[in-house]
Protein backbone atom coordinates (compact mmCIF):
# COMPACT_ATOMS: atom_id res chain seq x y z
CA UNK A 1 0.00 0.00 0.00
CA UNK A 2 1.28 3.45 -0.92
CA UNK A 3 2.01 5.90 1.90
CA UNK A 4 -0.73 8.36 0.90
CA UNK A 5 -3.33 5.60 0.72
CA UNK A 6 -2.21 4.23 4.09
CA UNK A 7 -2.49 7.66 5.73
CA UNK A 8 -5.91 8.13 4.17
CA UNK A 9 -7.00 4.80 5.68
CA UNK A 10 -5.63 5.84 9.09
CA UNK A 11 -7.79 8.98 9.04
CA UNK A 12 -10.85 7.05 7.88
CA UNK A 13 -10.40 4.57 10.75
CA UNK A 14 -10.01 7.38 13.27
CA UNK A 15 -13.25 8.96 12.08
CA UNK A 16 -15.05 5.74 12.92
CA UNK A 17 -13.29 4.86 16.16
CA UNK A 18 -12.11 8.33 17.37
CA UNK A 19 -8.94 6.79 18.87
CA UNK A 20 -6.73 3.85 17.89
CA UNK A 21 -3.56 2.21 19.12
CA UNK A 22 -0.46 1.71 17.00
CA UNK A 23 -1.01 -2.06 17.32
CA UNK A 24 -4.56 -1.78 15.95
CA UNK A 25 -3.30 0.23 12.97
CA UNK A 26 -0.46 -2.22 12.32
CA UNK A 27 -2.88 -5.15 12.31
CA UNK A 28 -5.48 -3.48 10.12
CA UNK A 29 -3.05 -2.04 7.56
CA UNK A 30 -0.57 -4.92 7.66
CA UNK A 31 2.28 -2.48 8.26
CA UNK A 32 5.22 -2.40 10.64
CA UNK A 33 5.18 -0.38 13.85
CA UNK A 34 7.93 1.93 12.55
CA UNK A 35 5.92 2.63 9.37
CA UNK A 36 2.74 3.44 11.31
CA UNK A 37 4.61 5.68 13.77
CA UNK A 38 6.18 7.56 10.86
CA UNK A 39 2.74 8.02 9.26
CA UNK A 40 1.33 9.30 12.55
CA UNK A 41 4.18 11.79 12.93
CA UNK A 42 3.55 13.16 9.43
CA UNK A 43 -0.20 13.36 9.94
CA UNK A 44 0.29 15.16 13.25
CA UNK A 45 2.71 17.60 11.62
CA UNK A 46 0.03 18.37 9.03
CA UNK A 47 -2.57 18.94 11.73
CA UNK A 48 -4.73 15.90 10.97
CA UNK A 49 -4.41 14.04 14.29
CA UNK A 50 -2.80 14.14 17.70
CA UNK A 51 -0.49 11.37 18.81
CA UNK A 52 -1.10 9.86 22.21
CA UNK A 53 0.86 7.35 24.25
CA UNK A 54 0.72 4.26 22.05
CA UNK A 55 -1.69 5.59 19.47
CA UNK A 56 -3.55 8.58 18.06
CA UNK A 57 -6.82 10.52 18.18
CA UNK A 58 -8.43 12.80 15.63
CA UNK A 59 -7.22 16.39 15.91
CA UNK A 60 -10.83 17.48 15.49
CA UNK A 61 -11.47 16.37 19.06
CA UNK A 62 -9.36 19.37 20.11
CA UNK A 63 -10.84 22.85 20.01
CA UNK A 64 -8.62 25.85 19.34
CA UNK A 65 -9.59 28.53 21.81
CA UNK A 66 -6.48 30.72 21.59
CA UNK A 67 -5.20 32.70 18.64
CA UNK A 68 -1.57 33.72 18.32
CA UNK A 69 -0.78 37.36 17.66
CA UNK A 70 0.47 38.70 14.33
CA UNK A 71 4.13 38.67 15.39
CA UNK A 72 3.86 34.99 16.32
CA UNK A 73 2.12 34.03 13.08
CA UNK A 74 3.78 36.27 10.50
CA UNK A 75 6.70 33.97 9.70
CA UNK A 76 4.99 30.62 10.25
CA UNK A 77 4.48 28.63 7.04
CA UNK A 78 5.65 31.73 5.15
CA UNK A 79 6.57 29.86 1.96
CA UNK A 80 3.17 28.19 1.98
CA UNK A 81 1.40 31.53 2.48
CA UNK A 82 3.29 33.07 -0.43
CA UNK A 83 2.41 30.10 -2.62
CA UNK A 84 -1.27 30.46 -1.73
CA UNK A 85 -1.18 34.22 -2.34
CA UNK A 86 0.39 33.76 -5.78
CA UNK A 87 -2.47 31.43 -6.77
CA UNK A 88 -5.12 33.78 -5.37
CA UNK A 89 -3.57 36.72 -7.22
CA UNK A 90 -4.24 35.04 -10.57
CA UNK A 91 -7.98 35.19 -9.81
CA UNK A 92 -7.97 38.97 -9.68
CA UNK A 93 -8.78 40.87 -12.86
CA UNK A 94 -8.69 44.55 -13.70
CA UNK A 95 -11.49 46.87 -12.47
CA UNK A 96 -13.24 44.54 -10.05
CA UNK A 97 -14.12 44.93 -6.37
CA UNK A 98 -12.84 42.58 -3.69
CA UNK A 99 -12.90 42.13 0.08
CA UNK A 100 -9.82 40.97 1.97
CA UNK A 101 -10.10 39.70 5.52
CA UNK A 102 -7.38 40.43 8.10
CA UNK A 103 -4.74 37.70 8.36
CA UNK A 104 -1.14 36.81 7.62
CA UNK A 105 -1.97 34.73 4.51
CA UNK A 106 -4.26 37.40 3.09
CA UNK A 107 -1.51 39.94 3.85
CA UNK A 108 0.76 38.15 1.37
CA UNK A 109 -1.97 38.54 -1.26
CA UNK A 110 -2.27 42.25 -0.44
CA UNK A 111 1.49 42.65 -0.95
CA UNK A 112 1.20 41.22 -4.47
CA UNK A 113 -1.67 43.58 -5.27
CA UNK A 114 0.35 46.49 -3.89
CA UNK A 115 3.28 45.61 -6.13
CA UNK A 116 1.01 45.47 -9.19
CA UNK A 117 -0.76 48.24 -11.09
CA UNK A 118 -4.18 46.58 -11.11
CA UNK A 119 -7.09 48.99 -10.86
CA UNK A 120 -9.18 47.60 -8.02
CA UNK A 121 -11.58 48.57 -5.28
CA UNK A 122 -10.77 46.79 -2.03
CA UNK A 123 -12.65 46.55 1.26
CA UNK A 124 -10.52 45.37 4.20
CA UNK A 125 -10.67 45.39 7.99
CA UNK A 126 -6.87 45.32 8.37
CA UNK A 127 -4.58 48.35 8.59
CA UNK A 128 -1.60 46.14 7.65
CA UNK A 129 -3.38 45.05 4.49
CA UNK A 130 -4.43 48.60 3.59
CA UNK A 131 -0.81 49.74 3.99
CA UNK A 132 0.38 46.97 1.65
CA UNK A 133 -2.31 47.84 -0.89
CA UNK A 134 -1.61 51.58 -0.79
CA UNK A 135 1.64 51.15 -2.71
CA UNK A 136 -0.52 50.52 -5.79
CA UNK A 137 -1.74 53.97 -7.00
CA UNK A 138 -4.65 52.38 -8.88
CA UNK A 139 -6.12 50.73 -5.80
CA UNK A 140 -9.13 52.36 -4.11
CA UNK A 141 -9.18 51.21 -0.49
CA UNK A 142 -12.06 51.22 1.97
CA UNK A 143 -10.58 50.58 5.42
CA UNK A 144 -13.19 49.28 7.84
CA UNK A 145 -13.30 51.13 11.15
CA UNK A 146 -14.42 49.84 14.53
CA UNK A 147 -12.77 48.27 17.54
CA UNK A 148 -9.16 47.20 16.97
CA UNK A 149 -8.39 43.66 18.05
CA UNK A 150 -4.87 43.91 19.44
CA UNK A 151 -3.50 40.46 18.68
CA UNK A 152 -4.63 40.33 15.03
CA UNK A 153 -4.75 44.10 14.29
CA UNK A 154 -8.22 43.61 12.78
CA UNK A 155 -11.20 45.95 13.04
CA UNK A 156 -14.13 44.11 14.61
CA UNK A 157 -17.50 44.80 16.19
CA UNK A 158 -21.02 45.77 15.13
CA UNK A 159 -19.91 49.02 13.49
CA UNK A 160 -17.41 47.12 11.35
CA UNK A 161 -20.00 44.55 10.30
CA UNK A 162 -22.54 47.24 9.38
CA UNK A 163 -19.94 49.12 7.34
CA UNK A 164 -18.95 45.99 5.40
CA UNK A 165 -22.60 45.26 4.61
CA UNK A 166 -22.94 48.57 2.74
CA UNK A 167 -20.84 47.08 -0.09
CA UNK A 168 -21.32 44.49 -2.82
CA UNK A 169 -18.10 42.96 -4.11
CA UNK A 170 -17.21 40.35 -6.68
CA UNK A 171 -14.70 38.33 -4.67
CA UNK A 172 -13.94 37.84 -0.98
CA UNK A 173 -10.64 36.37 0.16
CA UNK A 174 -10.89 35.19 3.74
CA UNK A 175 -8.69 33.30 6.14
CA UNK A 176 -9.62 30.63 8.65
CA UNK A 177 -8.02 28.95 11.67
CA UNK A 178 -9.60 25.59 11.05
CA UNK A 179 -11.06 23.48 8.23
CA UNK A 180 -13.12 20.45 9.16
CA UNK A 181 -15.41 18.26 7.06
CA UNK A 182 -17.77 18.01 10.03
CA UNK A 183 -17.53 21.57 11.39
CA UNK A 184 -16.74 23.69 8.31
CA UNK A 185 -14.69 26.89 8.68
CA UNK A 186 -13.90 27.99 12.23
CA UNK A 187 -12.01 30.66 14.17
CA UNK A 188 -11.30 31.19 17.89
CA UNK A 189 -12.90 34.66 18.05
CA UNK A 190 -16.64 35.45 17.82
CA UNK A 191 -16.13 39.02 16.57
CA UNK A 192 -13.74 37.95 13.82
CA UNK A 193 -16.21 35.26 12.78
CA UNK A 194 -18.87 37.95 12.36
CA UNK A 195 -16.53 39.97 10.09
CA UNK A 196 -15.85 36.92 7.93
CA UNK A 197 -19.57 36.12 7.73
CA UNK A 198 -20.26 39.68 6.61
CA UNK A 199 -17.62 39.50 3.87
CA UNK A 200 -19.06 36.21 2.65
CA UNK A 201 -22.56 37.74 2.56
CA UNK A 202 -21.56 40.65 0.29
CA UNK A 203 -19.49 38.62 -2.20
CA UNK A 204 -20.39 36.83 -5.41
CA UNK A 205 -17.38 34.52 -5.08
CA UNK A 206 -15.67 33.43 -1.87
CA UNK A 207 -12.19 31.93 -1.71
CA UNK A 208 -10.70 30.67 1.53
CA UNK A 209 -6.92 31.06 1.86
CA UNK A 210 -5.62 28.37 4.22
CA UNK A 211 -2.29 26.57 4.45
CA UNK A 212 -2.29 22.78 4.70
CA UNK A 213 -1.75 22.77 8.48
CA UNK A 214 -5.29 24.14 8.97
CA UNK A 215 -7.01 21.00 7.64
CA UNK A 216 -8.58 18.92 10.37
CA UNK A 217 -8.48 21.71 12.96
CA UNK A 218 -11.57 23.02 14.72
CA UNK A 219 -11.70 26.37 16.52
CA UNK A 220 -14.29 27.69 18.94
CA UNK A 221 -16.59 29.65 16.60
CA UNK A 222 -18.09 28.54 13.28
CA UNK A 223 -17.71 30.89 10.30
CA UNK A 224 -19.59 28.99 7.61
CA UNK A 225 -20.29 25.69 5.94
CA UNK A 226 -18.41 24.76 2.77
CA UNK A 227 -21.60 25.30 0.78
CA UNK A 228 -21.16 29.05 1.32
CA UNK A 229 -17.73 29.22 -0.35
CA UNK A 230 -16.51 28.53 -3.88
CA UNK A 231 -13.10 27.01 -3.20
CA UNK A 232 -10.24 26.61 -0.78
CA UNK A 233 -6.81 27.78 -1.97
CA UNK A 234 -4.02 25.91 -0.23
CA UNK A 235 -0.36 24.93 -0.65
CA UNK A 236 1.19 21.93 -2.37
CA UNK A 237 1.95 20.18 0.94
CA UNK A 238 -1.68 19.22 1.39
CA UNK A 239 -2.11 15.45 1.67
CA UNK A 240 -3.47 13.57 -1.34
CA UNK A 241 -5.82 11.83 1.06
CA UNK A 242 -7.21 15.21 2.09
CA UNK A 243 -7.75 16.21 -1.54
CA UNK A 244 -9.57 12.95 -2.16
CA UNK A 245 -11.68 13.34 0.98
CA UNK A 246 -12.83 16.84 0.02
CA UNK A 247 -13.30 15.97 -3.66
CA UNK A 248 -15.64 13.14 -2.65
CA UNK A 249 -17.85 15.79 -1.05
CA UNK A 250 -17.60 18.17 -4.05
CA UNK A 251 -15.61 20.71 -2.03
CA UNK A 252 -13.25 22.49 -4.41
CA UNK A 253 -9.58 22.85 -3.57
CA UNK A 254 -7.12 24.86 -5.67
CA UNK A 255 -3.38 24.19 -5.48
CA UNK A 256 -0.42 24.70 -7.80
CA UNK A 257 -1.02 21.22 -9.19
CA UNK A 258 -4.75 21.84 -9.62
CA UNK A 259 -4.55 25.21 -11.34
CA UNK A 260 -7.03 24.12 -14.02
CA UNK A 261 -9.82 24.83 -11.53
CA UNK A 262 -8.96 28.52 -11.64
CA UNK A 263 -10.01 28.77 -15.29
CA UNK A 264 -13.40 27.41 -14.30
CA UNK A 265 -13.88 30.00 -11.58
CA UNK A 266 -12.50 33.05 -13.36
CA UNK A 267 -15.68 35.07 -13.21
CA UNK A 268 -17.76 32.97 -15.57
CA UNK A 269 -19.80 32.23 -12.47
CA UNK A 270 -20.61 35.72 -11.31
CA UNK A 271 -18.01 38.40 -11.87
CA UNK A 272 -19.44 39.37 -15.23
CA UNK A 273 -22.97 39.85 -13.89
Query: Percentage of residues in the chain with pLDDT exceeding 70?
Result: 90
Contact 184, 224 (CB under 8 A): yes
What is the bridge-based pairing of β-strands 154-156 and 147-149?
antiparallel
Give me the pLDDT at residue 3, please. Answer: 85
Residue 21: beta bridge partners?
55
pLDDT above 80 for 268:
no
Stronger pLDDT, 115 or 262, i.e. the higher one: 115
- Stated length of the chain: 273
Q: What are phi and psi of 186, to 5 degrees?
A: -140, 160
Radius of gyration of the chain (CA): 19
* C-alpha separations of 29 from 26, 35, 59, 206, 216 in Å: 5, 10, 21, 39, 22
Highest mean pLDDT pick, 195-199, 215-219, 234-238: 195-199
Q: For residue 185, which of 266, 195, 269 has the smallest C-alpha distance? A: 195
Does an H or E element contain 236, and which?
none
Stronger pLDDT, 62 or 151, i.e. the higher one: 151
Amino acid sequence: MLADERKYQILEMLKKHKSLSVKDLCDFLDASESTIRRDLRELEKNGRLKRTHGGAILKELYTLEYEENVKQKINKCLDEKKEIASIAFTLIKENISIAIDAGTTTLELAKLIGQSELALTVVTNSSDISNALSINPNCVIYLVGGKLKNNTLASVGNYSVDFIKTFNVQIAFIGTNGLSIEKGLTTPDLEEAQIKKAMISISNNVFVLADSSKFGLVALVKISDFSQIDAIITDSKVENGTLKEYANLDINIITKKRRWRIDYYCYFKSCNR
